[in-house]
Structure 1
Amino acid sequence: MKKLLLAAIALLGTYTATGQKTIEGVTVEKNITVAGQELDLNGAGLREKLWYNLYVGALYVNTKSRDGNALVKADKAMAITLDITDEVVTQEKMKTSVEDGFGDSCTSKERKAIQSEINEFIGFFSQPIVKGDHFEIAYIPGKGTLVSKNAKYIGTIKGLQFKKGLFGIWLGNDPVDEDLKEGMLNG
Structure 2
Amino acid sequence: MKKPLILALLLACAATASAAEDLVLNGSGLRTKLILGTMYKLSLYVPEALKGADAKTLIEASQPMEFTLAIQSGLITRERFVETTSGGFAKAAQSGYTSDQTQAFLGQFAATEFKKGDTVVMRYGPGGLSTFYRKQADGSETKLGTIAGLDLKKALFAIWLGDTPAQASLKQALLGTP
TM-score, with length taken from structure 2: 0.80
Letter in 1 for 2:104: E
After TM superposition, list the pairs within 5 Å mapping 1:65-80 onto structure 2.
Answer: 65-80=52-67
What are the superposed Cα offsets for residues 29-79 of structure 1, whole Å, 9 maximum, x if unpaired?
Answer: xxxx95312210001000011132000000000130240111000111100
Residue 106 of structure 1 and its aligned partner are, at CA, apart by 1.4
Tell me, yes or no, if structure 1 residue 168 matches structure 2 residue 152.
no
Residue 141 of structure 1 and its aligned partner are, at CA, apart by 3.5
Counterparts of 1:75 and 1:143 in 2: how far apart (Å)? Answer: 7
Q: CA RMSD in A?
A: 1.8
CA contact (8 A) 2:133 2:142 kept: yes
Structure 1 residue matching 2:122: 3-state secondary structure = strand
Closer, same or farther: CA 67–110 of 1 in aligned 2, 3 Å: closer
Structure 2 equivalent of residue 50 of structure 1: 34
Residue 143 of structure 1 and its aligned partner are, at CA, apart by 3.9
Runs of 4+ in structure 1 deviating by more than 4 angstroms, as ranges, are none
Give the unaligned 5+ runs of structure 2.
1-14, 136-140
After TM superposition, list the pairs within 5 Å mapping 1:19-58 onto structure 2.
Answer: 34-37=16-19, 38-51=22-35, 52-58=37-43
Give the unaligned 5+ runs of structure 1.
1-32
TM-score, with length taken from structure 1: 0.76
Letter in 1 for 2:131: L
Letter in 2 for 1:163: K
Q: Percent identity?
A: 35
Aligned length: 152
Letter in 2 for 1:130: K
Larger mean CA deviation between 78-87 and 57-66 belongs to 57-66
Structure 2 equivalent of residue 94 of structure 1: 81
After TM superposition, list the pairs within 5 Å mapping 1:67-146 onto structure 2.
Answer: 67-107=54-94, 111=98, 114-115=99-100, 117-126=101-110, 127-146=112-131
CA contact (8 A) 1:135 1:147 kept: yes
Structure 1 residue matching 2:117: 3-state secondary structure = coil
Residue 142 of structure 1 and its aligned partner are, at CA, apart by 1.0
For the pair shown, which has the larger CA radius of gyration, 1 or 2? 1
Which residue, out of 143, 159, 170, partners 1:180?
170
